[in-house]
Amino acid sequence: MNNFIAFRTILSKEIHRFLRIWPQTLLPPAITTSLYFLIFGKLIGDRIGSINGASYMDYIVPGVILMSVISHSYANVVSSFYSTKFQRHIEELLVAPVSNWVILLGYVGGGVARGLMVGCVVTGISQLFAEITVVNWGVTIAVYFLTATLFALAGFINAVFADSFDDISIIPNFVLTPLSYLGGVFYSVSMLPAIWQTISLANPILYMINAFRYGLIGVSDVDIQMSFLITGGFIAFLTLLSLLLLHKGVGIKN
Amino acid sequence: MNALSIRNLKKTYSNGFVALKGIDLEVESGDFFALLGPNGAGKSTAIGIISSLVNKTSGSVSVFGYDLKKNNAKAKACIGLVPQEINFNQFETVKNIVLNQAGYYGMPKKLALKSTEECLRQMSLWDKRNTVSRRLSGGMKRRVMIARALVHAPKLLILDEPTAGVDIEIRRSMWEMMEQVNKQGTTIILTTHYLEEAESLCRNIAIINDGMIVERSGMADLLARVNKDRFVLDLASEISVIPKIEGYEFELADSKSLHVTVPKGKNINQLFHKLTENNIAVLSLKNKTNRLEQLFMDLVNE
């Protein structure tokens, strides 16, 4: 019961935080993705034609939605947990009888909530440009949640190790964004030369985007089961790593 | 029952600095206890370990019988901490800071709201409940931290230099609050650099120096060991020669101010009588240092 109340408190604090600053958290992805849909989908997409049987606009919608989910679930946890460390109010949690898994669940829950909320905003905007009928609701919702969870966990670990505000922007700028763009958001890997197709398969984001695309429009470059296996494997690994870091007090205790 | 039992507690930081060299300490339930020591002596490290902010190297800590390692949640539930530095979210409202802390301690919402209101009223902060905390004055911020520490009704309240940097008016109101909380049954451990604060509030005392407890006794017993008092005498007229009176030591601070050391048990009336004989008129008298300060300096310099 105590853990449930503590979890609810952390989660509600986290959700309240990103809703309070909605012009920084919810508005920018709406504008950015509108431009993606307008420029890539509408203006350029009309000249590209179809990919794997789907119109170019329909083809990029799942990737753009999931890219927003990835970046915002990550950004929420990394910035919130690092601020908590920086302002030292992490001590409020450390002195209280809150289990490590509750702290992790609360912060990851906040990241997932923001990722999903941004995903809903982007999905709503995509409906202005494309008419998508969901092919497989189960796969769509599962990938949506699992991807948000995975990147919220990754953001948490980044925040644990971060010593400065520079440290929380390096991974999103130099790792996440390139991997997302190279994860087949705007193209099918089958369009790449053989060597780049092989290299692309080492990018885990490719599997998530394609699984999500399969759920939404029924098109994928990769095996769906493999996608779930990779995503689930990463979640399990990052969860264990996060709990270990919290147990040892890395970055938060002397 | 002891509110706090520490056994052979050691802490060596990753840079090799040994902050605690194996301290033993017991604080009785209901006590108002002073933990004193110079900067870098190990007070904050000890408090950090007791409140789970610092990992110990070895030793054991138990709070009201709950071992901090084996019964971590129960031990933590007994403790309320007021840290040295401001450590709440500066963008959060006063009420939410206290309310969230109640949530972390697992208090149901209804009870948490009631307790939050009581604590904020006790700290005279209820009118500021919807104010964003960064807009508060320094004294108010300290009171927010006390309200936050009290919201789950801890049995042991640890105050780490709670009055540092606050003006005398707020300091006095905080002393009253601490005495009131202690009278309600809460054990208090206080660290402070204001030794008159410790002297007037605390019943028992430990002095820590260089990672070791160098003194542990009752405040009255400790003060009874003071074997001399030092006074400052403000003189009615200037003098140039230090008077020589047997049994008293004098030091001229300036031409109208004389410092005198009086051995314990020596009659102070006799001092004034002798000064009058020497044509020295005294306008006023005050203590040069308080008694605890003298002992503290002796103990940490040993």
Letter string b/e over residues B274-297, b meaning 16 or more CB atoms within 10 A of that residue's CB: bbeeeebebeeeeebebbbbbbbe
Say if residues A151 and A72 touch (Cβ distance below 8 Å). no
| Interchain contact, A97 vs B51, CB within 8 Å | no
Q: What's the domain count of chain B?
A: 2
- Closest chain B residue to A248, measured at CA: B55
- Closest chain A residue to B44, measured at CA: A254
Render pLDDT for A96-140 as a digit per residue (tens, 0 to 9). 999 999 999 999 999 999 999 999 999 999 999 888 889 999 999
Q: Is residue A220 part of a domain?
A: yes
Q: Is residue A112 part of a domain?
A: yes
Quick one: pLDDT at residue A6? 97
Least Cα separation, residue A51 to chain B (angstroms): 48
DSSP conformation letters of B247-259: T-EEEEEETTEEE
- Domain containing A103 equals 2-248
DSSP conformation letters of A117-150: HHHHHHHHHHTTT-----S-HHHHHHHHHHHHHH
Least Cα separation, residue B120 to chain A (angstroms): 17
| Interchain contact, B53 vs A254, CB within 8 Å | yes
Give the three-state DSSP class for B49. helix
Letter string b/e over residues A1-33, b meaning 16 or more CB atoms within 10 A of that residue's CB: ebeebbbebbbbbbbebbeeeeeebbeebeebb
- Quick one: CA dihedral A24, A30, A34, A36, positive or negative? positive
**Which whole number is the average pLDDT over A229-252?**
96
Residue B267 contacts A where some CB pair is shorter than 8 Å: no
Q: Is residue A253 part of a domain?
A: no
Quick one: pLDDT at residue A41? 79
Residue B154 contacts A where some CB pair is shorter than 8 Å: no
Least Cα separation, residue B108 to chain A (angstroms): 7
**B84 and B118 together in one domain:** yes
- Within 8 A of A98 by CB-CB distance, chain B residues are 104
Q: How far is CA B111 from the centre of its chain?
A: 31
Cα distance from N-terminal residue to C-terminal residue, chain B: 33
**B255 and B271 together in one domain:** yes
Quick one: pLDDT at residue B230? 81
Q: Chain A neighbours among B 4-43 (CB < 8 Å)?
A: 13
For an interface test with B, give the residue of A2, A16, A95, A252 to mutate (most B CBs within 10 A): A95
- Within 8 A of B48 by CB-CB distance, chain A residues are 254
Contacts of A94 (CB under 8 A, 6+ apart): A252, A253, B51, B52, B53
- Within 8 A of B51 by CB-CB distance, chain A residues are 94-95
Is the pLDDT at A193 greater than 90? The verdict is: no
Quick one: pLDDT at residue A92? 96
**B100 and B245 together in one domain:** no
Quick one: pLDDT at residue B291? 65
**Which whole number is the average pLDDT over A6-22?**
95
**B62 and B175 together in one domain:** yes
Render pLDDT for A83-98 as a digit per residue (tens, 0 to 9). 999 999 999 999 999 9
Residue B218 contacts A where some CB pair is shorter than 8 Å: no
Q: Is residue A37 part of a domain?
A: yes
- Domain containing B236 equals 228-301
- Within 8 A of B96 by CB-CB distance, chain A residues are 13
DSSP class of B210: T
Query: Which of B198, B224, B250 is the last residue in one of the domains?
Result: B224
**B44 and B173 together in one domain:** yes
**B38 and B69 together in one domain:** yes
Q: Is residue A30 part of a domain?
A: yes
pLDDT by residue for chain B (302 residues), tens only, comes to: 899 999 999 999 989 999 999 999 999 999 999 999 988 899 999 999 999 999 999 999 999 999 999 999 999 999 999 998 999 999 999 999 999 999 999 999 999 999 999 999 988 899 999 999 999 988 899 999 999 999 999 999 999 988 877 778 888 888 888 999 999 999 999 998 888 888 889 999 999 999 999 989 898 888 777 777 788 889 988 888 888 888 888 888 888 888 888 887 788 888 888 888 888 899 988 877 666 776 677 777 66
Per DSSP bridges, beta strands B32-36 and B204-209 are: parallel
Q: Is residue A88 part of a domain?
A: yes
**B54 and B75 together in one domain:** yes
Query: Which of B200, B224, B248 is the last residue in one of the domains?
Result: B224
**Which whole number is the average pLDDT over A161-185?**
91
DSSP class of B132: B
CATH number at residue B94: 3.40.50.300
**B136 and B244 together in one domain:** no
DSSP conformation letters of A48-67: H-EETTEEHHHHHHHHHHHH
- Within 8 A of B77 by CB-CB distance, chain A residues are 97
**B197 and B259 together in one domain:** no
Is the pLDDT at A232 greater than 70? The verdict is: yes
**B157 and B272 together in one domain:** no
Give the three-state DSSP class for A22. helix
CATH number at residue B294: 3.30.70.1560
**B216 and B232 together in one domain:** no
pLDDT confidence of A214, banded at 50, 70, 90? very high
Least Cα separation, residue A159 to chain B (angstroms): 17
Which secondary-structure segment (H or E) carries B68?
Answer: none
Indicate the residue of B85, B101, B106 with minimum beta-carbon distance to A92. Answer: B101
Render pLDDT for A19-31 as a digit per residue (tens, 0 to 9). 999 999 999 999 9
**B160 and B262 together in one domain:** no
Query: Which of B172, B205, B224 is the last residue in one of the domains?
Result: B224
Q: What's the domain count of chain A?
A: 1
What is the token pair recorded at B6?
């520490």
Q: How many CB pairs under 8 A join A and B?
A: 76
pTM of the entire structure?
0.86
- Within 8 A of B83 by CB-CB distance, chain A residues are 91
Indicate the residue of A3, A13, A97 with minimum beta-carbon distance to B76. Answer: A97
Quick one: pLDDT at residue B290? 64
Give the span between the Cα atoms of B137 and B166, in whole angstroms.
10
Quick one: pLDDT at residue A121? 95
Which residues are registered as beta bridge partners of B282? B235
